[in-house]
Structures are given as structure tokens and as C-alpha cells.
């Protein structure tokens, strides 16, 4: 794997974490059976902290993708990956709630 591929993989992982943090900051998933305890243990207890962490992770993932793929591909890739991962995440959260 080349450096770009590593950056892209890292960006995807960060994007997923960002979406997860954002989802768990919302009322519907705040007390999620599988994830709420884990988030509380690492200090992400309040909705505000989770949302802020999520925002930073999302921005970080966008930055990594732009850095590895360039402006055009990076932003389009981020947008499309966010859509696919958000759908996957909603599915996953629904089955653990």
C-alpha cells in the first residue's frame, strides 16, 4: 500500500468515527446499548462533547481525503463515503438499540 492509500484508509476510519460520535450525540441514540457505555468510559459523556469530537473527526477526515486525493476527488469522495457510511451506521445502530 502506498502512503495515499494509508491516508485514505485513515480518512475513512475517521469519517466513520465522526459519524458515530455525531449519531451518539443525538437524542435517539444517546443511550445506545452497545456504544453509550464505551463512549462514557473514554470521557465522551455529554452530547456537546460527542458532537464536538464528531465535528473534528469529520473535518479531519475531509482534510485527509483532500490531502491524499486532491480537492475535487477528495471532497466528492468524502461526500459519497459519508452517505454510504451514514446508511451503514444507521442500520448498525438500529439493530443494537
Partner 1 sequence: MTPSIRQHMAWFHTWFGLVIGFLLFSVFWTGTLTVFDKEFDRWMHPESRSVQSQCCSLTAAQLETVLLKVHALAPEPANIRFHLPTARTPMPSVRITEHDNTLKTYYIDPDTGKALPGEYTLGGTGFFFPFHYKFNIAWMNVGYYMLGIAGLAMLTLLISGVVLHRKLLAEFFLFRPKKNRARSLLDLHNLSSVVALPFYITITFSGLLILFSIYFQWATLTAFDGDKAASQKAMSGFINLPPSGFVENDNQKLAALKRIPAIVQAREAAWSAALGEHTTADAINIRNLGDSNALLEIRRVFPERSIGMSTHTDTFLLHTDELLHAHEPKPIKSFTHWITGLHFIQFDHAALRVLYAIGGLLGCVMIHTGFLFWLESRRVQHHTRKLSGFAVVQALSVGGTLGMMIATAAFLVANQLIPHHVANRATLETDVFYSVWVLAIVWAFINAVTYKSKQWLTPTWLFTALCALAWLLNQINTGGMVTALRLQEMNSFAIDVGLLFMVASGVYAARKLTAPARVSRLNKEAFECN
Residue 14 is a binding residue for partner 1 (CB under 8 A) = no
Cβ contacts of 76 within 8 Å, gap of 6 or more: none
Q: Which is nearer to partner 1, 14 or 81 (CB)?
A: 81
Q: Which is nearer to partner 1, 45 or 90 (CB)?
A: 90
Among 1, 27, 42, 43, binds partner 1 (CB under 8 A): 27
Among 33, 40, 46, 73, binds partner 1 (CB under 8 A): 73
Taking CA atoms, 13 is separated from 27, 28, 31, 65, 81, in Å, by: 24, 23, 23, 11, 11
Cβ contacts of 17 within 8 Å, gap of 6 or more: 54, 57
* Site for partner 1, rule CB under 8 A: 8, 19, 22-23, 26-29, 72-73, 76-77, 79-84, 86-87, 89-91, 93-95
Amino acid at each position: 500500500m502506498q502512503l495515499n492509500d494509508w491516508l485514505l484508509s485513515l480518512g475513512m476510519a475517521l469519517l466513520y468515527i465522526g459519524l458515530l460520535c455525531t449519531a451518539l450525540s443525538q437524542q435517539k441514540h444517546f443511550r445506545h446499548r452497545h456504544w453509550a457505555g464505551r463512549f462514557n468510559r473514554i470521557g465522551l459523556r455529554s452530547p456537546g462533547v460527542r458532537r464536538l469530537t464528531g465535528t473534528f473527526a469529520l473535518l479531519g477526515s475531509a482534510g485527509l481525503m483532500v490531502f491524499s486525493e486532491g480537492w475535487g476527488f477528495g471532497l466528492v469522495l468524502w461526500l459519497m463515503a459519508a452517505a454510504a457510511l451514514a446508511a451503514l451506521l444507521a442500520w448498525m445502530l438500529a439493530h443494537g438499540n
